[in-house]
Amino acid sequence: MDASVEAYRKRRQQRLDAHGDDTILRYHRRRQKRLDLREKSIRTAKWSNNLFDFDSLKQDTDRDDDWITMNGSPVLVGEDDVIMGGAGGKFTGEKLSDLGDDSPEAEPRGNLGKMDYEQRIAVVQRELGVTTEEANTYCNDLRKWSESGYESIRKYQQGETKDPEARRLTESVEDYIENAPRWDGDVISRGISVSRMDGNLILKELERKINTGESIGMCGTSSWSEDEKVARQFLGEGSGKISILFHAEGELTATGIQHLSKYPREKEVAMSVSQRLTPVSIEKDEGKSDTWVVWLVSEGW
């Protein structure tokens, strides 16, 4: 195993040992208060092949309003962080900084398996504290995302479209990821296949990031699986392209959506566009000349 991976796992174990048996604490550390969601929920990425953000993330300055979720209800935020409406007027006129965020975080969880419609609605209502109508919207949008909606979301996040429905779907999926229970920490995997030119550029930049300790983004909301075998199905091995199998672990802004997915066998995990990942290891897949395996950890982990 690569020495950098061994060093990372040693540091991780030291952190776990410091917490004793209550390892769940490492997932309950606040990344940011939810008022920061309005700054990171919809972003676009800059990089030539539209696969990764190796440089920076920028806000979408074309947005003409600012909606966030408080206690399961959307509210409109105006200038100076003053709430202008939403949630039945409960917070209108209040400043976000005065309200704070004292709501408890749900315990992290893994995937929940295949569910029927009534079960999905009940789970979303319970976990997010939303109405039946709102839960139905989340269920439909996450199912759409898992089927083909990811394409319109990726285009919106990269500034290739301003379609209102693409925007709505993007905000809905990102809002769900932000407010649903965090992924429980098991390793998740993602497979991609790219042209040889793009692949060589990506590999070269990943090696540089390993040396500098800098992080990358996935250039949009990204789909992962808890099952490595599923991720490998997306590699396109033998196609003449370069395939990259990513493994990620740590404190991730991601959540299991198997129970909402159109394809529950994929054991899907949805990761937020805001998540930054630090490469710690890169090596060729054993016995496969055009496939590389890259280990990533959550930024700052």
Domain boundaries, the chain: 176-301
What is residue 95's three-state secondary structure? strand
The reported pLDDT for the residue numbered 70 is 56
Q: pLDDT digits over 40-91, tens only?
A: 333 333 333 445 554 433 333 333 446 665 554 556 777 777 887 766 666 7
The reported pLDDT for the residue numbered 53 is 53
- List the structure tokens of 19: 């917490």
Report the CATH superfamily, name and number, of domain 176-301. Answer: Toxin ADP-ribosyltransferase; Chain A, domain 1 (3.90.176.10)
Q: pLDDT digits over 268-291, tens only?
A: 999 999 899 999 999 999 888 889
7: amino acid identity, one letter: A
Rounded distance between C-alpha atoms, residue 238 and residue 146, angstroms: 26
Residue 54 DSSP one-character state = S
The reported pLDDT for the residue numbered 177 is 95
The reported pLDDT for the residue numbered 261 is 96
pTM of structure: 0.71
User: What percent of the chain lies above the pLDDT cut of 70?
Assistant: 69
The reported pLDDT for the residue numbered 6 is 63
Surface-to-core class of residue 29, CB atoms within 10 Å of its CB (0-12 exposed, 13-18 middle, 19+ buried): exposed
Q: What is the mean pLDDT of residues 197-211?
A: 93
